Amino acid sequence: MRLILATIGNNQTVKFAVEEIVRLIKKMDKNLTLDVRRYLNKDASVKNALWVGLDSSVKQSEDDHILINVENGAGIITGSNERSVLMAAYRFMYELGCRYLYPGADGEKIPVRSLDYKDLKVSVDETPSYKHRGICIEGSVSSEHALNTIDWLPKVGMSGFFTQFFTPGIFFRRYYKRFYEDENDRDFGNEITNKEIDAIVASLLDELKKRGLVYHAVGHGWHCAPFGLDVTGWEIFEGEPEDAIKKILAFKDGERAFWEGKPLNTNLCYSNPLVQQKITDYITDYCVNHKNVDYLHFWLGDAGRNHCECDECIKKSPSDFYIDMLNLLDEKMTKAGVNTKIVFLLYNDTLYPPLKEKIKKQGRFTLMFAPIAHSFSERYANADLENLPPLPPYKLNEDIKRNTVATTVSYLTEWKKMFTGDSFDFDYHLMWDHHTDPGYYEVAKNLHSDMVNLEKIGLNGMVSCQLLRSAFPTGLPQYAMAKGLWNKAKSFEEVCDEYFTAAFGEDGKAVSEYLAEISSLACPPFVRGSIIPEFIDLSKEEINNRYGKIKALADDFCNKYANKLDSSADWQYLKIHSVLVKLFADLYIAKYNDNEEGIEAIKTKFRATVKDANPIIDAVCDDMYLCDDVLVKYLDRH
């Protein structure tokens, strides 16, 4: 069979879309004859061609829309923009049987089959449920891990990537330190520099551009860089700050000092005109010189309850001063002719809405809701919008209640009364919380539920602040997230069945039930610990029973599927996971039976198992966070 692939125009994203169709369809049927061409415009005189690119079929827009109308291998694959064309290309191959389960080569599932013209019949005309569908870099990552994620995004209809910081140094250093701290490695003592990390990011931005993806940038650091403070993470400031720096820091507890010793966490004296001018000048200059940024995030200090208490700053709330700077920034950007969208952040103290000021030109800005402290034992679906708790009067630097969905949605609702513009969620389901669920099933179900209910709370999508390597034992959580953002009408059960069938074939249902039972027995609300309102208290007897069943379940599963556990990457992940989930169970059994000596031995074995397995699971498991969360963060809450 001969397939004519006709590229429309010379755009690199459209050309990449054609290259990806070629790559995938040749893996599917190596005997297929491909005739790849490029035309300036669609040519009606060309017979039996499959056209790929922008034409008049879909109105062009920054928002995504895909259209596929193919019969007998001829027709059109197009969209509202070049990025949508690429998504449509992947969707075309999806309809032929391809699946893209998680980042990395092993996540692609391409069925080998003989194709005929009659097989190449696809009709799709869709707009995603939400505008914003992105992922934000977090955790410990290599250049390859970040590229894997960027490559995966358009395959599942995700549209954007967020790098954080001016130089996202901390994320790469967390990973690469295993080399420069290893005495046996050639790079021992050769810590990766900001300049080298900037070069990595430059390469990643090329990959973003090639795919036409939306680029989100910076966020952290605007209260530091304009004043000569270089931050690429949550570093402790060594020594005493200069007087020029000290006098602009927030006045708190009778002094001006770095909060917790960390510049990134420290707020400034935001009533100070110098502070307002320097920050907004710096952002404007950055946008002028970085036209590739689509959404520029402007955040304040990363810690709460450390705002300035000087005589001027106590006259308004932090959110009011924030809006002062947003309005000033818009004036400067308008004068400079810069159209970059500015993302402002509802987080910590700025979750509380302003009391006096209002955003003047709402079209410039996008609201980002970041409820970092809310409990993942609750769902947005359960928020009773008619009976949300009233917000108490704002009190400067006093802790605000924000650990329930109802309270966090209350803050959002109050903000939405004064800001009616674009908005999205910035949430943390796959930052830490997935490590409370060793089966990954409940967290996937909950994440999917939150995505399909974002519309209910007035948000137009999600940028997931997450570990880039979060597909161990499966990639179901982020796959379900992507599916929910694209089509909120598709049920979790449909998504789950699709995932496990693609990963495990005829055994998919059995694997799904196995992991679901592990999630149920582990009881994530219990693992999350007593700091959450919905804490479930299990007795020693219940722990011994539940967690003993987890161990038996893992053994039974491995015995039943012993002949398959090395047959693919997905099965290998389950094999390694079976060892770790038993150690996870042993930890809590030891903890609730007061076996402190046993706990330390289990921790040692857990870390050793992860280290030994790292060559296999490196692309899908953030080993640093897995060990820290399971062995320290959540265990210490009990």
Q: Tell me the CATH number at 202.
A: 3.20.20.80
d(CA 149, CA 25): 22
Q: List the chain residues with pLDDT less than 70.
A: none
> CB under 8 Å to 566, separation ≥6 — which residues?
572, 575
d(CA 626, CA 620): 11
Domain final residue pick, 486, 503, 520: 503
Please give the C-alpha separations between residue 244 and each of 221, 249, 265, in angstroms, as whole numbers.
18, 9, 18
d(CA 483, CA 481): 5
Asked if residue 558 and residue 436 are part of one domain, the reply reads no
Contact 320, 285 (CB under 8 A): no
Asked if residue 233 and residue 172 are part of one domain, the reply reads yes
Domain final residue pick, 480, 503, 526: 503
- Residue 401: per-residue pLDDT: 81
Asked if residue 103 and residue 15 are part of one domain, the reply reads yes
- Residue 536: per-residue pLDDT: 86
Domain final residue pick, 75, 91, 126: 126
Closest Cα to residue 481, out of 493, 495, 468? Answer: 495
Please state whether 561 falls in left (phi above 0), alpha (psi between -120 and 50) or beta: alpha
Output DSSP code: residue 165: B
Q: How many domains does the chain have?
A: 3
- Residue 400: per-residue pLDDT: 83
d(CA 343, CA 537): 40
Task: Pull the structure tokens for residue 138.
Answer: 């977090």
Asked if residue 490 and residue 541 are part of one domain, the reply reads no
- Residue 237: per-residue pLDDT: 96
Task: Pull the structure tokens for residue 305.
Answer: 């309850």
CA dihedral 181, 187, 192, 193 (to 10 degrees): 120
d(CA 329, CA 386): 36
- Residue 446: per-residue pLDDT: 97
- Residue 244: per-residue pLDDT: 95
Asked if residue 329 and residue 187 are part of one domain, the reply reads yes
- Residue 103: per-residue pLDDT: 98
- Residue 535: per-residue pLDDT: 75
CB count in 10 Å sphere of residue 288: 14
Task: Pull the structure tokens for residue 74.
Answer: 């001829």
> CB under 8 Å to 239, separation ≥6 — which residues?
none
Asked if residue 539 and residue 628 are part of one domain, the reply reads yes
Tell me if the pTM is above 0.95: yes
- What are φ and ψ of residue 60, in 5° steps? -70, 140
Asked if residue 514 and residue 484 are part of one domain, the reply reads no
Convert the pLDDT of each residue in 596-627 to its tens digit.
999 999 999 999 999 999 999 999 999 999 99
CB count in 10 Å sphere of residue 328: 18
Asked if residue 491 and residue 573 are part of one domain, the reply reads no
Contact 127, 64 (CB under 8 A): yes
Asked if residue 368 and residue 295 are part of one domain, the reply reads yes
Closest Cα to residue 576, out of 471, 476, 500? Answer: 471
d(CA 186, CA 134): 36
Containing structural domain, residue 55:
2-126
Contact 439, 519 (CB under 8 A): yes
d(CA 90, CA 71): 17
- Give the bridge partners for 593, in sequence order: none
Q: How many residues does the chain have?
A: 638
Please give the C-alpha separations between residue 323 and each of 296, 333, 360, in angstroms, as whole numbers.
16, 15, 9
- Residue 100: per-residue pLDDT: 98
Closest Cα to residue 92, out of 150, 21, 153, 4? Answer: 21
CATH assignment at residue 52: 3.30.379.10
Burial category of 280 from C-beta neighbours within 10 Å (exposed 0-12, middle 13-18, buried 19 and up): buried
Asked if residue 601 and residue 569 are part of one domain, the reply reads yes
Q: Is 158 helix (H, G, I), strand (E, B) or coil?
A: coil
- What are φ and ψ of residue 70, in 5° steps? -125, 135
- What are φ and ψ of residue 4, in 5° steps? -95, 115
The tokens 């062009």 sit on which residue? 60
Convert the pLDDT of each residue in 167-226 to its tens digit.
999 999 999 999 999 999 999 999 999 999 999 999 999 999 999 999 999 999 999 999
Closest Cα to residue 346, out of 389, 280, 391, 308? Answer: 391
Asked if residue 337 and residue 411 are part of one domain, the reply reads yes
Contact 140, 468 (CB under 8 A): no
Asked if residue 187 and residue 121 are part of one domain, the reply reads no
d(CA 552, CA 30): 44
CB count in 10 Å sphere of residue 604: 11
Burial of 26-44, coded b for 16+ CB within 10 Å and e otherwise, reads eebbeebeeeeeeeeebee
